[in-house]
Amino acid sequence: MSEACKISAEALKVAGKFMQPGISTWEIDAEIEKFIRSTGARPNFKGLYGFPGSACISVNEVLIHGIPSKKIILKEGDIVSVDTGAAIGGFNGDNAYTFAVGAISEEAQKLLKVTEECLYRGIEQARVGNRMGDISNAVQSHAESFGYGVVRKFVGHGVGRDLHEDPEVPNFGRPGRGVRLAAGMTLAIEPMINLKGADVKVLSDGWTTVPTSGSLSAHFEHTIVITTDGPKILTKV
Domains and CATH numbers, the chain: 2-233 (3.90.230.10)
Q: What is the distance between the alpha carbons of residues 57 and 129, in angstroms, rounded to a whole number?
A: 36
**Mean pLDDT on 137-152:** 98
Q: What are phi and psi of 189, to 5 degrees?
A: -95, 125
Q: What is the distance between the alpha carbons of residues 74 and 148, in angstroms, rounded to a whole number?
A: 25
**Which residues are bridge partners to 42 per DSSP?**
87
Three-state SS at 163: coil
- Averaged confidence pLDDT in the chain: 98
Residue 208 has a pLDDT of 98
- The answer to whether residue 237 scores a pLDDT higher than 90 is no
Rounded to two decimals, what is the model's pTM? 0.97
pLDDT digits (tens, 9 = 90+) for 39-66: 999 999 999 999 999 999 999 999 999 9
How far CA 150 is from CA of 23, 167, 211, 215, in Å, comes to 30, 19, 11, 13
pLDDT digits (tens, 9 = 90+) for 180-231: 999 999 999 999 999 999 999 999 999 999 999 999 999 999 999 999 999 9
The sign one gets for the Cα dihedral 157, 225, 163, 42 is positive
